[in-house]
Chains A and B, each alone.
Chain A
Amino acid sequence: MRDLRNPFRLQAAEHIESETDFLKLFGPGVLDLLPEEDPFARPQFIRSAPGGGKTSLLKLFTPSILHTLVALRGNPDYKELFQRVRQLGAIDDHSVRVVGVMLACGRTYPALADLGLPAPRARRLLMALLDARIMLGCLKSVLAASRLRYPEDLGRILVDIPSDDPLPGLQSPCDGNQARDWAERLEQSICDVIDSLLPPVSSGPVGHDSLLTLQLLDRGALRVDSEPVVPRWLLLLDDVQKLTAEQRSALRETVVEQRSGTTVWIAERLDALSPEELLASGALAGRDYGDVINLEEAWRRNPRRFESAVATIAERRARMAADVATGDAPGSFAAIIDSNMDSPERTARTQAALDTVSRRVREIATQNPQYAEWVSSRSDVEGNPREQLVAWRSLEIIIERHRRKTQQSFEFALGREELEDKDDSGVKSAAELLLAKEFGFPYYFGPARLASLGSFNVEQYLSLAGDLFEEALAAALLRGRRGAPPVLSPERQQQILTDAGDSRVNDLPRRARNGRDVMNFLNVVGAFCRDVTYQPNAPYAPGVNGIAISMQERKILLDPVALKANESYARFGQLLATALAHNLLHAELDKSVKNQRWMILYLNRLMCLKFELPLNFGGFRERPLNVLVGWMERGYKPPRAGTLAL
């Protein structure tokens, strides 16, 4: 690989030139999201927002990558990945067990729909073009899997098709060269139809009824040196979202109906799905399919796994910079991220804040003696100044909550046990957030919060980590080789991440269709969540960073008749679809709250940074659909009272 200054800018692993470098940068954590038991047994649907890592996942199972991994099995840098892939059954200690054939579906197929051909003919041409490309892919992949060269060793392939399953135009038996020529001619003839500036009505091939090459593979018609192909075939279709809706349906139906022995994995971006499909995510699960793996959702179910996975990726990239650079680059990403808020230079600020808050709370107790015991318990708290500060602020929140609830005219003294019951982790987290706001302490820093800000999207994480690494590179360059490696303070981390978040949001009108609507709506939701979060009693500790629509009202957004009758609802549905597809909102369906079912829409974590919201999940407010539509059309007016007075 050519000299690389900031490897975090190499965002798309699929564009990395060499197999070794691809494997070096591939984080094995994503493999945990695949089904544990024989993931190659049934079709899999892999979905995510842009940058989620689908293409890299598919590329891993191509023969040249797997061969390289087997060859590197003894190298400590690749050991973990080797073991994981071996566990999945794709390789063993010496050979490749799966022959992956990767096809990008963005190439050419959608243009077939624009030729003005009758639907059956367009479908036949689609199948024929897929067949031609699958054949070419199989020839290349089987030679790679056998460690032979393409096209020099095509003569060593025998294609022996059963007589009742002919491929139109291909004589059987034939060798790999003839099969290649057949596929190239077929592909060329269809491409000529597409590129022609003349009307295509009667030109071009007849086409195929189904994916004939899959049947060929099922029957073991491809042999190398007269031996059957031992590894299992795995067809990897990427970017399926680029097909038209009819083409995607045709492909799914064909893959399912044919019940081919060849496993097919289909990767598509979330933005492919129609608004109806996006809002109804999960509709595909069923006995005919393997899992529908939504990468971001899968990460959300286990945030620590995501944190670990991206931390590994970050370390690998930092190490790569150190390996190729002149020696100034930091060799570890974790080392440049300072998470320590208890350093001596911060103690004075923390102590000052502690004095302020404790004085405030004591004054409340002076006027309300029932809290005296609670206050006294805080005076006994041990720990460093920051821990004591959080404890006092938590107490302030709990007192405020109690005062709002209590209607009694007698005030009994409240005991320490009652305080302990109320002082949970949510309150402590809310206290930390409110303190950061009040005293200007940094909140968004450190490896865990950086992973959270990635919003379960690898590309988003790498973009943010890349900004931090860029700063460290600059500091290292200025410092030279003398002195300790650069470390970014919590304050500086927060500033860099805030700037990154701002530019990403402000760029939305350009980046996405309906981008302006989406940006305005996200700003409104953010402002609303901030108002709810920053109340003195922190009612939804640690805070709110999402909204919820009832499942009943969600049905309106899926009903074409209702949408046609109401333009505002249709526009809102489109807005939500764009926001979901671009990972700006995350949806959780069918959550039960107060005996009702809800679709929760959480803000992308980067939006949480912009509005100073917590990064947890679980904090949301239910809102009627007409209110949300009103926000979209007229904006949001904060309530007169309710924000924390500082």
Chain B
Amino acid sequence: MIADLRWRDYVLTKGDAGLAMWHTLFAERERNVLYVLGLGFDERMCVGLQAVFGAGGVGKRDVCVLRFEEGPESASRSHSDLRAANEQRLAQLVASGGCGLSERSIPLVSDDNRRIGGRSIAKAFSNPEDFRNYTDVIVDISALPRGLYFPLIAKLLTMFDQLPKDGSVHNLHVVVAHSPTLDMAIRDEGIDDSATFLHGFSAAEFEREATREQPRIWLPVLGRGQQIQLDRILTLVAPDEICPVLPSPAQNPRESDDLILEYRQVLFDQLRVEPRNIIYASEGNPFEVYRQIVRSVRQYKRALAPLSGCKAVVSAMSSKLSSLGALLAAYELRDSEGEDHVDVGVAHVDAQGYALDKPRDGESPTLYNLSLAGECYADKE
């Protein structure tokens, strides 16, 4: 029997319903909130902070800003004015809310130009005592690159899962200001030559020589304009079976068709993916992405049991919202025990920076809130 999913029942709110949720939550009792966000050029950076801290309530309100430098040649430097504007906006929100402010500096690249962002951010949040005094820790990934928020959320989930069950309240939430239009306007530049497995998941375990012959199942969650990344991750993973995850339903009803057309050559000519391997999951529900991935991988594991099971690789190459689903799936598969445990890697390729095209219309982002641990899952614990 396939084990139950950790987030089979989940808490996901968006837009006005999300705001109502925060109002209700903060009105219930005193809550001490730590809001963690990245400092970047993305105009969505402060949307969540403004909404959540604008929901009132009593208790401490602290902000932890993650500063990361992409290097002197990063294309993101050309948006330093946008970043400065965001920083100013952040300062205003912090001042008007009477919030405490702390910063953590996250080195992304070592002296010899290797990617160390994942380890750096995990190291920056290594002390559980840092969260003991907060009832709610909110991680806003709107302006954080994937190479940082994946290991950050994995680390926080691990720490939260290890907190003693002494009746104290510790909730972990993730928020993201979602806008497919703005996502399409941001392009990676200076993509790294090689992909890597992100820290926080079974990177080294996945690459063991002892289990090299185990079949590898790759589940890329596809988004637009990721051809180069797809090629590089493919070189790293060398999968035996590929199950692309496409968004359906989606804001654009033909989004999955468009993605098939965009990646037709690599999917069907180069990789010869079986069309029936394609998985569809709602663009607006990361928990559905999570569910589809976990179930698919577990089914493969059972089917391939005569070959000693399989390893799974997840790649999040789409919107941040869908990417969260991939993250949760990887976390659950890694942390499962017994016959449900799967060695899972998260294959990712970083970029030096980002270029920003002008968005085609002035679409406002929608704020999504996911609760990952804490009170709403107390029954499960």
Contact = CB atoms under 8 A, between A and B. Distances in A.
Interface of A: 2-6, 9-12, 15, 50, 103, 106-108, 110-111, 113-114, 132-133, 136-137, 180, 183-184, 187-188, 190-192, 194-195, 197, 199, 242, 244-245, 269, 271, 507, 509-517, 571, 574
Interface string B143-157: 000000000001100
27 contacts: A4-B272, A5-B269, A6-B269, A9-B266, A9-B270, A10-B270, A103-B209, A106-B236, A108-B203, A108-B208, A132-B209, A184-B208, A191-B208, A194-B204, A195-B202, A197-B126, A197-B155, A197-B158, A271-B193, A507-B228, A510-B189, A512-B193, A513-B192, A514-B190, A516-B189, A517-B73, A574-B73
Q: Which of A110, A180, A195, A571 has the largest number of chain B CB atoms within 10 A?
A: A195
B190 A509 contact: yes
Chain A interface, >50% SS class: helix
B190 A510 contact: yes
Nearest to B73: A514
Given A510-B188, A516-B189, A187 B194 contact: no
B272 A2 contact: yes
Contact of A516 (B75, B188, B269, B270): B75
B22 to A, nearest CB: 30
B381 interface: no
A114 B269 CA distance: 38
A269 B235 CA distance: 14
Contact of A244 (B112, B207, B355): B112
Interface stretch (B9-17, B52-60, B114-122, B319-327): B114-122
A213 to B, nearest CB: 12
Contacts of A513: 73, 190, 192-193, 352
B56 to A, nearest CB: 35
A11 B235 CA distance: 11
Nearest to A132: B209
A10 B270 CA distance: 5
Contacts of B207: 107-108, 191
A137 to B, nearest CB: 7
A571 B72 CA distance: 10
B193 A187 contact: no
A190 B207 CA distance: 12
B283 to A, nearest CB: 24
B270 A106 contact: no
Contacts of A517: 73
B75 A187 contact: no
A106 B194 contact: yes
B208 A188 contact: yes
A128 to B, nearest CB: 13
Contacts of B194: 106, 242
A574 to B, nearest CB: 8
B200 interface: yes
Q: Which of A11, A106, A111, A194 has the largest number of chain B CB atoms within 10 A?
A: A111
Size range of the chain B interface in the assembly:
35 or more
Nearest to A17: B240
A646 B61 CA distance: 72
B31 interface: no
Contacts of A111: 199, 203-204
Given A4-B272, A197-B158, A513-B192, A114 B114 contact: yes
Interface in B268-295: 268-270, 272
Q: 10 closest Cβ contacts across the A-B interface?
A: A191-B204, A194-B204, A107-B207, A9-B269, A133-B209, A184-B210, A9-B270, A513-B190, A108-B204, A136-B209
B238 interface: yes
B96 interface: no
Interface in B146-191: 154-155, 158, 187-191
Contact of B191 (A9, A107, A269, A511): A511
A349 B109 CA distance: 59
Contacts of B102: none
Contacts of B238: 15
Nearest to A274: B112
Contacts of A11: 270
B270 A187 contact: no
Given A108-B203, A113-B110, A514-B73, 9 more contacts: A9-B269, A50-B193, A106-B194, A113-B114, A114-B110, A114-B116, A184-B210, A197-B122, A512-B191
A2 to B, nearest CB: 5
A197 B155 CA distance: 7
A506 to B, nearest CB: 13
B189 A509 contact: yes
Contact of A187 (B114, B116, B189, B209): B209
B257 interface: no
Given A10-B270, A244-B112, A515 B189 contact: yes
B269 A195 contact: no
A245 B112 CA distance: 8
A495 to B, nearest CB: 19
Contacts of B192: 513
Nearest to A244: B112
A195 B191 CA distance: 25
A33 B209 CA distance: 30
Contacts of A5: 268-269
Contacts of A184: 208, 210
Interface in B313-354: 351-352
Contacts of A509: 75, 189-190, 355
Contacts of B114: 110, 113-114, 244
Given A2-B272, A187-B209, A507-B228, A12 B355 contact: no
B265 interface: yes
B129 to A, nearest CB: 15
Interface in B86-136: 110, 112, 114, 116, 119, 122, 126
Contacts of A510: 187-191, 228, 351
A563 B140 CA distance: 40
Q: Which of B155, B188, B228, B269 has the largest number of chain A CB atoms within 10 A?
A: B269
Contacts of A106: 194, 236
B258 interface: no
Contacts of A183: 209-210
B30 interface: no
A459 to B, nearest CB: 11
B330 to A, nearest CB: 13
Contacts of B266: 9
Nearest to B207: A107
Nearest to B269: A9
B2 to A, nearest CB: 25
B75 A114 contact: no
A203 to B, nearest CB: 13
A574 B112 CA distance: 13
Contacts of A110: 114
A568 to B, nearest CB: 12
A106 B110 CA distance: 17
A227 B185 CA distance: 65
A187 B206 CA distance: 12
B202 A188 contact: no
Contacts of A137: 209
A583 B355 CA distance: 25
A9 B265 contact: yes
A3 B154 CA distance: 41
Contacts of A10: 270
A15 B158 CA distance: 36
Nearest to B154: A197
Contacts of B209: 103, 107, 132-133, 136-137, 183, 187
A511 to B, nearest CB: 6
Contacts of B126: 197, 199
B94 to A, nearest CB: 30
A512 B192 CA distance: 7
Nearest to A55: B235
A113 B199 CA distance: 13
Interface in B336-381: 351-352, 355
Given A9-B265, A510-B187, A516-B189, A136 B203 contact: no
